[in-house]
Amino acid sequence: MSANGSPTGQQPTATSDVVKDSAFLRACRREPVPHTPVWFMRQAGRSLPEYRKVREGIGMLDSCMRPDLVTEITLQPVRRHHVDAAIFFSDIVVPLKAIGIDLDIKPGVGPVVERPVRTRADLARLRDLTPDDVSYVTEAIGMLTRELGPTPLIGFAGAPFTLASYLVEGGPSRTYENAKAMMYGDPELWADLLDRLADVTAAFLKVQIEAGASAVQLFDSWAGALAPADYRRSVMPASAKVFRAVAGHGVPRIHFGVGTGELLGLMGEAGADVVGVDWRVPLDEAARRVGPGKALQGNLDPTVLFAGREAVEARTREVLDTAAGLEGHVFNLGHGVMPSTDPDALTHLVDYVHTRTAR
């Protein structure tokens, strides 16, 4: 058995022993850490001038399909901020594009689907995803794990509900009227759609894990639009299927959504090892809602970074204080880095958390 061995009965991954012993993965496993680990959602790009430079003139989806560019963008925040984990640069709609869905990411709008999925006949367009469909992902992760050394790489995918929302609405929505109309009015079609998307999502995560990702995060960005009963009945089964599908690979599974304070317990119940918390719920209260046996991730309000160093440190101390009794804690923002954030504020935040929590 090599240094890449995994727990008994589980499939091997490309994670080396030194990566497995990283503060980030130890926190995910609820083990003692030398300091609270930090990474940021949307850290790969957005606020970094070096990101804007390498992306100039290149569309978002094209950027996600170029292994050299994916590697460079993923590494940029690790070099600059000294975060404890890298997040693979991609987009949640990449697997949909890979299986032939006609969509594009339009600047200032987001993903736009040319032909929304509204009928049972439309399901036929959602074929299975194979590793060959995303060979550029495998290549990029191979390049990244060689460059990252002891720093873990987080793979990610969009959760079935959020992907279904884009597919049914045809793009971003504030009300999700078409998606919810299908969920309420044709629950069998809705269940079949989410089940199909769960298979696509699980396959996309497996590609990333088998290529060398040390953890994975499932983004259910829009799950906060759901009542708990609707989430349990109409969404959680598909998310749980994704988590079960990758359970045997032995890597931590993180689950995150925005505005999901009322769903935190259910999101943990779906099968995550780590539950992401946005800034609306204090971490000690989030721990009560999630229950024992899970690590938590979060949860500084991203807008605090615009308030000056003194305010950032004060609010960060509050987050760390509420996390003091947690079984495991990964420091993060309560959502993604805003594009106009000063990169120096992020760098200082990482250093501040590391220094204040040094054991």
Catalytic residue among 91, 122, 284, 301: 91
State the catalytic residue, choosing from 26, 30, 55, 196.
55
Single out the catalytic residue among 26, 30, 46, 253. Answer: 46
351 labelled catalytic: no
User: Which one of the listed residues 26, 30, 51, 166 is annotated catalytic?
Assistant: 166
Three-state SS sequence of the chain: CCCCCCCCCCCCCCCCHHHHCCHHHHHHCCCCCCCCCECCCCCCCCCCHHHHHHHCCCCHHHHHCCHHHHHHHHHHHHHHHCCCCEECCCCCCHHHHHCCCCEEEECCCEEEECCCCCCHHHHHHCCCCCHHHHHHHHHHHHHHHHHHCCCCEEEEEECHHHHHHHHHHCCCCCCCHHHHHHHHHCHHHHHHHHHHHHHHHHHHHHHHHHHCCCEEEEEECCHHHCCHHHHHHHCHHHHHHHHHHHHHHCCCEEEEECCCHHHHHHHHHCCCCEEECCCCCCHHHHHHHHCCCCEEEEEECHHHHHCCHHHHHHHHHHHHHHCCCCCCEEEEECCCCCCCCCHHHHHHHHHHHHHHHCC
91 is catalytic: yes
Q: What token pair was written down for 291?
A: 């229950």
Mark whether 17 is an active-site residue. Answer: no
Name the active-site residue from 42, 80, 196, 253: 42
* 284 included as an active-site residue: no
Q: Is 62 a catalytic residue?
A: no
Active site residues: 42, 46, 55, 91, 166
